[in-house]
Structure 1
Amino acid sequence: MKRSLYFVFTIIFLILWSSCRKNFEFSPSTGSLVFSKDTVYLDTVFTNIGSSTYNLKVYNNSDDDIIIPNIKLALGEASEYRLNVDGLSGKTFENIPILAKDSIFIFVETTIDINNFSNLNGNYLYIDQIEFDSNTNFQKVELVTLVQDAIFIYPNRDNTTKVIETLTLNIGGESVETELQGRELLSSELTFTNEKPYVIYGFATVPNSETLTINAGARLHFHANSGLIVSNGASLNVNGAFSNDQDLLENEVIFESDRLEPNFSDIPGQWGTIWLLDGSINNTINYATIKNATVGILSDGNPNDATEKLKITNSQIYNSSNFGVLGRNTSIVGENVVINNSGQSSFAGTLGGKYNFTHCTIANYWDNSFRQFPSVLLNNFVRDEDNNAILADLTEANFNNCIIYGNDNPEILLDEIEDASVAFNFKFTNCLIRFEDRNNNFTGDNYNFDNASLYENNSFNEEPNFKNPSLNQLIIGDDSFAINKGNTTFSIQVPTDILNINRTTSPDLGAYQHITFPEEN
């Protein structure tokens, strides 16, 4: 009985309380809406590729609950924009309520086919408006998107079975079927120009015995899990040139992801790698920027070729989620190369090989997670599925007039399995190295810094005075210990720095000659 009386009194209370409340009455909008922005700029998108989702917040700062009679795109159903207004999708909306002192979200997306518009020259500025109400209460917010035309390279698809083409690669002389989506480049696709950017889905593969030539100023954008493969007998020639504008890098060849929004400009691991397969030959990269990959460059095999498998010069590799450059029993020459911010090592020469780096800055200021390896890793083995070590000769690994530094310590690791049947040859000459073994963990002949056959005229743990390594600005300033510490024998071999400054008479270590940093306000 008491429980029944309780429910009766509760119902009566709710009825009386609700009758005393002011009824929800919505007034028409009076044109006094407030917006979080007066223009929504959707960052550059490639033709036919959907944008990210952008938001606009609409505020009702009045003391009244209001109704917006209509919200619509000025171009109506013909608009290339799509809206979601407070959970409703479409291009025209009616009677949208906003409570007093409250707000709603409008989300904006677009996918634009640049071919639908005439008289274009690579780019098109697409504009529309979100319109609120009409007549004297009319308000609007502009929508602006830059659409960029592009050349798309993507694997073929069987429309019947919905199966996307996968690659068969020649690895070690054997044809290996892989699960990598992609296809071989056609003969008509073996020269990339700077006329339009290239957007690559899957792995674009340079066919056997062919050469992919990439001209100065070309831009390559890779979708997630995509990359470039240079197959057996094939070559890659990246022919970038010095850029007068170091912000635009107008003549460099740039490898990056297809996400153009500023928030993605420095996110590691957005695409795969440039993979030089065992058997690819005579690969050259000059004036390139490779950023936001999983592995910037992966080079396999050919350690004993008469010429190096890869020569990379005047190039920058940043924000690799694993390795900047990973060599596996291969041959690499690097001059004026800058590598930074890698989830593992910036340079790793594994399973032996042959490596020569002169006037390079190999740093690692990775701060996205714990880093297991140092900036430079050298070893002479790989382990198989049963954890057995497979050994190979480290024929040579020479670092001359280099800076090897980072936010960890030490920043070199010489991981040798000692075996009389294999070589482990290396030498650091006139380098600035971060290495401090506080706990005496690194012992043995490889870490005998007094051995002139392994270490000659090096400096340890002195300040390189980088401008801003967290932003990949590794030019050195007036306070750098690296100033004038270079050996002229090597600077004559590489007479200008990465910014085309002469270094033959007073060489600094690393890829840059020093500058005076402007004073901060």
Structure 2
Amino acid sequence: MKRYLYFIVTLGFLMLWSSCRKDFEFSPSKGGLQFSKDTVYLDTVFTNIGSSTYNLKVYNRSDDDISIPSIKLGLGETSNYRLNVDGIPGKVFENVEILAKDSLFIFVESTIDINNFPNPNGNYLYTDQIEFDSGSNQQKVELVTLVQDAVFIYPNRDNTTKVIETLTLNIDDQIIETELQGRELLPTELTFTNEKPYVIYGFATVPSGERLTIEAGARIHFHNDSGLIISNNASLNVNGAFSTDQELLENEVIFEGDRLESAFANVPGQWGTIWFLDGSNNNTINYATIKNATAGILCDGNPNGIRNKLTITNSQIYNSSAFGILGRNTSIVGRNVVINNAGQSSFAGTIGGRYNFTHSTITNYWRNSSRQLPAVFLNNFLLDEENNATLASLTQANFNNCIIYGNDNPEIGFDEIEDNAVSFNFKFTNCLIRFEDRNNTLTEAYYDLNDINHYEGNIYNEDPNFKDTELNKLMIGNESAAINKGNSTFATQVPIDILNVNRTTTPDLGAYQHITFPKEE
């Protein structure tokens, strides 16, 4: 009985409250809206590539519920902007209601074809307005987008079947049909200049017997799941040059994703890799920045050729979701190389090979997730799906006058299958290394730091005094333990540091001679 009485009382209260409630009455807006910004800048986008979504918040600060008679783009239905007002897409909206002391969100996107405008000269500033109401009550918010022209390289598509072209690759002299979308570069595409940026969809492949030359100052952008493949008997020559402006890097060749918005500036894994197939040869990279890839460089095969398969100098590789450089039974020479922030290893020399790095800074301060591998990792085998091992000799892995550091410990690691048929040779000489076996768990012979066959003249666990590891600024300061600790013999092999400073008199370790950091304000 009590429960029944309680139900009746509650129901009566709700009916009484409902009968007293007045319907919302919306009065027309009188132009007193406020906005989270007076101009929405949609950053820079490539022609015909959709922008990110940006938001604008509209406030009704008054005590009245209001209705905005119209919200529309100034160019109406012809505008290249798209709006979404409180979940409804369109370009023109009528009688948009906002409660007193409340707000609404407007989301803005754009896709713009630069070729629709006269004389764009490579860039075009596209503008429009969001107009609220009309006449004397009208208020406006400006929309601004810089549209950049580019050379687009993308796979062919059959307009009938909608099938996109996939690659056929020569790997280890075997012709393999892949599911990788992409195509071979045409003869007219084998020189990338700095006149316009390049945007690559899928994997662009350098054909067998050809060479891709990339000139100083070129900008190469990759769409998601895209990359560059240097095929059998082909080569890549990246001919960047020193830049006087270390922010603009005007003469460096830059490889990165195709999202130009600032929010994507340091996001790992936006594109695939630069992949040197087994039969490619005589590859050189000088003054390049490779960032935000899955693996900055993937280099396969040719460990014992007359020439090194890849020579990389004065170059930086950052923000790789897996590896900065992944070598697989190959040969790589690196001088003045800087690698940082990789989801696994910054440098991994796997399945043996031949590697020589001098005056390089190889660090890993990855913070996006936990990682299982150190900054530098070496092994001599590959396991198949049934755990059968393919062995190969680690002929050389020399690191001279380098800094090898990071936010894990230790930052060097090895994984060897011992077999008399293969060798496992490596040596760290005059390097600053983060290595501390606090729990005495690293009992393998190759972790014996007193073995001069593997370790000589090194410094362990002292502060390199980097400028800013999170922003990939690996210059060393006045308090660095690396100052004047370089072997002069190695310094004469790389007499100029990555910033064009002579190091032969008092060489520091790593890719940089030390500098004085400006005092923080």
Q: What is the TM-score when the length of structure 1 is the normalising length? A: 0.98
Q: Once the two structures are superposed, what CA deviation does each residue of 1:186-225 show, in whole Å capped at 9, x if it has no partner? A: 1111100111111111000000010000111111111111
Aligned partner of 2:294: which letter? T
Judge which range, 475-484 or 127-136, deviates more. Answer: 127-136
The equivalent residue for 2:285 is 285
1:219 corresponds in structure 2 to 219
Q: Could you tell me how far apart the structure 1 residues matched to 2:62 and 2:323 are?
A: 55
Shift of 1:5: 9.4
Please, which moves more after superposition, 73-82 or 342-351? Answer: 73-82
Residue identity in the other structure for 1:471? L
Counterparts of 1:172-251 in structure 2 under 5 Å? 172-251=172-251
Match of 1:417 in 2: 417
Give the alignment of 1:33-432 within 5 angstroms. 33-432=33-432
Q: Given the superposition, is the C-alpha separation of residues 3 and 492 from structure 1 closer, same or farther in structure 2, using an over 3 Å criterion? A: closer
1:364-386 deviations in Å (ceiling 9; x for gaps): 00111111000001111111121
Unaligned segments of structure 2, at least 5 residues = none
CA distance in 2, matches of 1:329, 1:8: 82
Matched residue type, 1:340: N
Residue 21 of structure 1 deviates from its aligned partner by: 2.4
**Structure 1 residue 13: Cα displacement:** 5.0
Write the deviation string for residues 478-517 of structure 1: whole angstroms up to 9, x where unpaired. 0000000001111111011000000011000000000011
Query: What is the one-letter code of the residue matched to 1:152?
Result: F
Q: Structure 2 counterpart of 1:172, which letter? A: D
For residues 112 and 265 of structure 2, the distance between their equivalents in structure 1, rounded to whole angstroms, comes to: 22
Residues 310-351 of structure 1: CA deviation (Å, up to 9, x unaligned): 000000000101110000000000000000000001000001
Q: Deviation of residue 2 (structure 1)? A: 11
Deviates more, 1:172-181 or 1:75-84: 75-84
Separation in 1, partners of 2:28, 2:83:
22
SS at match of 2:330: strand
Cα drift, residue 87 of structure 1: 2.0
CA distance in 2, matches of 1:7, 1:136: 54
Displacement of 1:20? 2.2
Q: SS at 2:491's partner residue?
A: helix
1:130: how far off?
0.4
Q: Give a deviation string over 1:266-305, Cα, whole Å, max 9, x none.
A: 1111110000000000000000000010000000000011
When structure 1 is superposed on structure 2, of 455-464 and 8-17 the one drifting more is 8-17
Deviation at 1:17, TM superposition (A): 2.7
Compute the displacement of 1:16 (Å).
3.9
What amino acid maps onto 2:365 in structure 1? Y
Matched AA of 1:466: F
**Alpha-carbon shift at residue 12 of structure 1 (Å):** 6.2
SS in 1 for 2:37: coil
Gap change, CA 1:400 and 1:3, over 3 Å in 2: closer
1:499 counterpart SS class: coil
Shift of 1:436: 0.6
Per the alignment, do residues 12 and 418 of structure 1 end up closer, same or farther by CA in structure 2, a change over 3 Å counting? closer
| Equivalent position amino acid for 1:343 in 2 | G
Distance 2:406 2:12 in 1: 72
Inter-partner Cα distance in structure 1 for 2:223 and 2:97: 40
Corresponding position of 2:480:
480
C-alpha displacement at 1:232, in angstroms?
Answer: 0.2
- What is the SS of the residue equivalent to 2:50? coil
Question: What corresponds to 1:32 in structure 2?
Answer: 32
Question: How far does residue 449 in structure 1 lie from its aligned partner after superposition?
Answer: 1.8
- 1:463-483 Cα offsets, whole Å, 9 max, x none, are 100011111111000000000
State the Cα distance separating 1:22 from its structure 2 match: 3.1
Q: Which runs of 4+ in 1 moved over 3 A?
A: 1-16
Describe the SS at the equivalent of 1:492.
helix
Distance 1:67 1:418 in 2: 78
| Helix, strand or coil at the partner of 2:144 | strand
Amino acid at match of 1:470: E
Q: 1:15 to 1:450 in 2, by over 3 A?
A: closer
Deviations 1:202-252 (CA, angstroms, capped at 9, x unpaired): 000000010000111111111111000000000000000000100000111
> How far apart, in 1, do the equivalents of 2:2 and 2:319 lie?
70
Deviation at 1:56, TM superposition (A): 0.5
Q: 1:137 to 1:453 in 2, by over 3 A?
A: same
Aligned amino acid, residue 54 of structure 1: Y
Equivalent-residue separation in structure 2 for 1:230 and 1:486 (angstroms): 35
- Report the secondary structure of 2:42's partner residue: strand
Shift in alpha-carbon separation, 1:10–1:378, aligned structure 2, 3 A = closer
Pairwise CA distance, 1:420: 1.2
Instruction: Give the superposition deviation at 1:107.
Output: 0.8
SS at match of 2:371: coil
Give the whole-Å Cα distance in 2 for the aligned partners of 1:230 and 1:169: 10
CA distance in 2, matches of 1:6, 1:444: 77
TM-score, normalising length: structure 2: 0.98
Q: 1:424: Cα distance to partner? A: 1.0
What amino acid sits opposite 1:134 in the alignment? S
**Which AA in structure 2 matches 1:503?**
R
CA distance, structure 1, for counterparts of residue 93 and residue 489 of structure 2: 73
Alpha-carbon distance, 1:417 to partner: 1.3
- Identical aligned pairs, as a percentage? 77
Q: Secondary structure at the match of 1:471?
A: coil
273-282 vs 159-168, greater mean Cα deviation? 159-168
Alignment length (residue pairs): 521
One-letter identity of the residue aligned with 1:90: G
The 5 A counterparts of 1:440-519 are 440-519=440-519
Aligned letter for 2:119?
Answer: N
